[in-house]
Structure 1
Amino acid sequence: MDMWTKFAKTGYEDQDWPQLLNHELNVVPIVKGLDPLNISLVENDPFHDTCDDVNTTSGVVRGQVVQVLDKDVDQFLGIPYAVPPLGNLRFAKPQPIQKPYPDIIDATKPKNWCIQPINIPGLNASEDCLVLNIWSPSSASNELKPVMFWIHGGALVLGSIFQDIYDGSVLATRDLVIVSTNYRLGQFGYLYGDREDAPGNVGFYDQLLALKWVKENIHQFGGDSDQITIFGESAGSWSVSAHILSPLSKGLYKRAIMQSGAHLYNKDNDVVSKAEALSRAKQIAKQLNCSETEDWLQCLRKVDANELSKYSRNPTYPVLGTEFLPISAQKAFETKKFNSDIDLMAGINRDEGSMFINGFIKDINNMTLQDFTTGVKGLDAVYHGIDTQKVSDYYLKNVNTSKPLYLRFAFSDLVGDLALKCPTYSFAKQFAIAVKDMHRVYFYELFY
């Protein structure tokens, strides 16, 4: 946490941490243990004091004070940053709030998750979900503080800023203003209709509008709009890489942190063409009895949200060749058409592949060599063009293939390298090569 917050504040210049330069392989290992049992987090007091009301372009916002690590933090939950994307706004770019809410916005309680294909008892999910959270140090200081803007993960199909693990109050105790944003997921965020009112990638447009809202309003919460760091994990990290590539995001942030994910894996097959995206959308329309109508897209807008969510792919792939993402990462770096005027920190974890094994191996506790081979072939169906024999030989070198545990470790390494480690490192490396030491670039691997 120290390295992320220091980077957000200063760009992190440390003699012990060499930058990822265009001619050197500099990956800093992080092995220091954590002791979460000795950390006292948010005090669970239902009678928190409200903090001062804050004027924003959305309206007057009322939050509350929470005590974290013996410090007071102003917490604002569920501030709307866009018009609810309902009815004809389903699949469309988010619309900014033109007229402030007349009543005080209650930001003391969590709001809706965005619609997603999971069934969690008590989960409040809705298309009316375009809100953000803010945590800022309770302080009378007039000095504006650096801002960290969080994008959650979940394969672009799952997740919410109201998950407990995304509570930003602890980070705010480091004298920073923390923001997290909901964005549309699955078909609601990425269905492509080849029309202005269904341009695809609207989940990214949600993030973009939230970032613009922060740029315009964060000074009211004590944040410095010229010191914004965007950061995210997994699909959130992929989103950060997309904002680095998108011409629409230029100038909205100063630094970026990518945690385990980037657009560059699978030989650019982590995106779909407009033709493929349109074909997939029309196939969904057919399955939902909308294909025979003159306006199949309007028909899809009337489908029950929970029913439509069942057709969300996991993972969901963004659309390439669009206004937001005009060219691939490879081409962007080759032609220098990306947002190069930022500092970048990127990193990975040791056992990235462990969470994906069950998707390819039925019984990981009794894994056999045949299971490994079958799993590699399954990976080839996703990561096209794998030389299955060479890959197997490489990852099974010096592995006792009669031991299920060792086979599992080997397959975990393979999946982690393919899905997260290699693309994240490759993106950071190509960024470093392209900026030619003009900006700071760091890379780490967490071994704990």
Structure 2
Amino acid sequence: MVRSVVNLVWLSILGVVTSQDGPPTVSTASGKVRGTAQYTNDLPDKPVYTFLGIPYAAPPVGDLRFRAPVPVIPWEGVRGASKPGPFCPQPMDLQHVMPFRLAQTTTSEDCLTLNIETPTTNADDGLPVLVWIHGGSLESGGGYLLPFAPLAAHQDVVVVSFNYRLGLLGFLSTGDENAPGNFGFLDQVLAIRWVKENIRNFGGDPDRITIFGESAGGYSVSYHVVSPLSRGLFRRAISQSGVFGTNPVQLNPLQIARMQAEELGCDGEDTAALVDCLRERPVEQLLAGYNLLQIMHVGYNLKPFRPVVDGYFLTSTPEYLIRKRQASPVDYLMGVNDHEYGFMIPRSSHLPNFGKGMTHELCSALLRMGIEDYVDYKGSGQAIATAILENYRDHANPDDIMAIQYQYTRLMGDMMFVAPTVRAADGHTGAGGKVHLYENHYVPSFLRAARPDWVGCDHTDDWWMVVGAPFMDIQLTSGDNIPFTSADKQMSLKMMELWANFARTGNPTDQTSPEWPVYTTDHPAYMKLDLTSSVEVGLESDRVTFWNKVIPELARLADRDEL
């Protein structure tokens, strides 16, 4: 009785209630699970059957730390699936990052669980399946921050979310067999494979799986598109605000691993001893050492543990694999928000006095630290930085500190998100895949009210609409519900329909928008998403040309001159 009351309490925080009868028990290859039913605040008669915290892998602890995941050991009887599993260990408290109350806030290395939300458990229904990969820079976040019940209910799709290993535990690499790296990606592969093998019993079609994600989830999706391990596991892909160029491969992982070992008092010379030492450290020590590494050794905006070419999940760089047509030619929907680096990322990165303006000197210093992973500038870093600053200078207000700050947000957003997304679109179409491209301009009303007027559609603004947040009573940490407007609800319905249509057919076009054309390099059409959407051609073409053609040519010429 107490457990039932607790479940009802945390579900009611998110504006959902448990069903009186409860959903049926569902069988999986690992064992039987019993969940709950939830409802959106606008469809009180349409239950969404919800199964939370289902293990898809054995706990990656002890000798399994820094190794590929192994399947979960099957269980006897019926496993309760009414609460989400703990988040994977991470260096920040999500409750202090997210503006709303989380269903749970615990973390544990035993975190490899998934969640299923479905409008049916009839195995014959064969609904499209959307598998969500969460964001958080591959170092924070969790699969179940908010329910996807509105997307499942309004669009009759099955939605799956899951946790995967993060940061040091998910992406440390010694560059050899002792810690090849990409463990978080391997978790994702196993989770998607679990879905493909079991989702039919939850009403889903295993041959119509779409993987989708935002930010780190978006670039995780793009890495799966080029990974041989992921081939055949999904039919379509959606990358929101992130592709592999947003977080490029780490070229010197052993150097970073040794720096981390030093912070934790481990010998870094012998890689086997290094990994054994890190396996023995309590997770709290690992997180503390991870924080020290970022503070002491890693430049602003750079993450120490990133994807690597491990010869297994990733056999070469994504750029090479696409050029050699070794990527999966899946249908691909990808895009960005129109001001990706406008507010959230610089604020969360603790930029000094961000929002109050920026001097030329600070802008230049931050840029030089930020371009290291995005521009192959060899010894010409200062010349490249000067060219970038000049290209983005506001010539009408060249010394205005607010204008300088605004241009900094634009150049960083273009470098990290817009230009890499267009490169990925060009590469995927060149490799034989079909692409639909977008730029989202809609800002949820409560976020617009809380930010300065000069901020456009910022990083994560799309997430609220795709998840269907306006159709849940989401409680802020202050205790009030988020005041979603009728316009928010209209835009959320539109984006949920676009995403679900793409998962169903490969064509995202909805009932109220013009036909969404396929993107090609000869006709780079994209959809400008808003309450009234429109088809445009050439996403930020001048700025994208600058990053994707002018800057590489400047770097090539500088490198030639040095020789």
TM-score (norm 2): 0.67
- Any unmatched runs of 5+ in structure 1? 1-39
2:58, 2:121 → 1: CA distance? 31
Q: Say whether the 8 Å CA contact 2:266–2:278 is kept in structure 1.
A: yes
**Larger mean Cα displacement after TM superposition, 138-147 or 349-358:** 138-147
> What is the correspondence of 1:35-114 to structure 2 with a 5 Å cutoff?
43-45=15-17, 49-68=21-40, 69-70=42-43, 71-97=46-72, 99-114=73-88
Residue of structure 2 in register with 1:11 after alignment: none
1:399, 1:181 → 2: CA distance? 48
Deviations 1:95-121 (A, max 9, x none): 012x42114221111211000011457
Residue of structure 2 in register with 1:368 after alignment: 359
Change (3 A) 1:295 1:374: closer
Alpha carbon RMSD of aligned pairs, Å? 2.3
Residue of structure 2 in register with 1:27 after alignment: none
Residue of structure 2 in register with 1:284 after alignment: 260
Percent identity, aligned pairs only?
37
Larger helix percent = 2
1:255 and 2:236 aligned: yes
Q: Say whether the 8 Å CA contact 1:62–1:106 is kept in structure 2.
A: yes
Larger strand percent = 1
Task: State the 1:409 CA deviation.
Answer: 1.8
1:222, 1:56 → 2: CA distance? 12
- Any unmatched runs of 5+ in structure 2? 1-11, 96-103, 295-301, 443-563
2:267, 2:187 → 1: CA distance? 28
2:387, 2:273 → 1: CA distance? 49
2:16, 2:208 → 1: CA distance? 31
Task: State the 1:140 CA deviation.
Answer: 5.5
Change (3 A) 1:335 1:440: closer
1:444 and 2:433 aligned: no
1:48, 1:419 → 2: CA distance? 48
1:412, 1:196 → 2: CA distance? 40
Q: Say whether the 8 Å CA contact 1:150–1:230 is kept in structure 2.
A: yes
1:43, 1:200 → 2: CA distance? 39
Residue of structure 2 in register with 1:305 after alignment: 283
1:302, 1:184 → 2: CA distance? 17
Residue of structure 2 in register with 1:338 after alignment: 327
Letter of the structure 1 residue corresponding to residue 118 of structure 2: S
Q: Say whether the 8 Å CA contact 1:41–1:170 is kept in structure 2.
A: no
Letter of the structure 1 residue corresponding to residue 241 of structure 2: S
2:115 to 133, 136, 144: 133
1:320 and 2:309 aligned: yes
Aligned length: 397
Letter of the structure 1 residue corresponding to residue 398 of structure 2: T
Residue 207 of structure 2: SS of its match in structure 1?
A: strand
Q: Say whether the 8 Å CA contact 1:232–1:258 is kept in structure 2.
A: yes
Letter of the structure 2 residue corresponding to residue 213 of structure 1: W
1:414 and 2:411 aligned: yes
1:283, 1:409 → 2: CA distance? 35
Task: State the 1:333 CA deviation.
Answer: 1.8
Task: State the 1:298 CA deviation.
Answer: 1.6
2:206 to 225, 249, 270: 225
Residue of structure 2 in register with 1:36 after alignment: none
Q: Say whether the 8 Å CA contact 1:74–1:137 is kept in structure 2.
A: yes
Q: Say whether the 8 Å CA contact 2:24–2:34 is kept in structure 1.
A: yes
Letter of the structure 1 residue corresponding to residue 341 of structure 2: G
Task: State the 1:47 CA deviation.
Answer: 6.4
Residue of structure 1 in register with 2:528 after alignment: none
Task: State the 1:300 CA deviation.
Answer: 1.0
Letter of the structure 2 residue corresponding to residue 127 of structure 1: E
Deviations 1:221-243 (A, max 9, x none): 00000000001111111100100
Residue 135 of structure 2: SS of its match in structure 1?
A: coil
Task: State the 1:54 CA deviation.
Answer: 0.6
Q: Say whether the 8 Å CA contact 1:59–1:101 is kept in structure 2.
A: yes
**Larger mean Cα displacement after TM superposition, 175-184 or 370-379:** 370-379
1:425 to 422, 425, 432: 422
> What is the correspondence of 1:268-279 to structure 2 with a 5 Å cutoff?
270-273=248-251, 276-279=252-255
Q: Say whether the 8 Å CA contact 2:170–2:184 is kept in structure 1.
A: yes
Q: Say whether the 8 Å CA contact 2:135–2:217 is kept in structure 1.
A: yes
1:212 and 2:202 aligned: no
1:357 and 2:346 aligned: yes
Change (3 A) 1:283 1:407: closer
Q: Say whether the 8 Å CA contact 1:93–1:199 is kept in structure 2.
A: no
Letter of the structure 2 residue corresponding to residue 419 of structure 1: M
Letter of the structure 2 residue corresponding to residue 363 of structure 1: N
Q: Say whether the 8 Å CA contact 1:53–1:61 is kept in structure 2.
A: yes
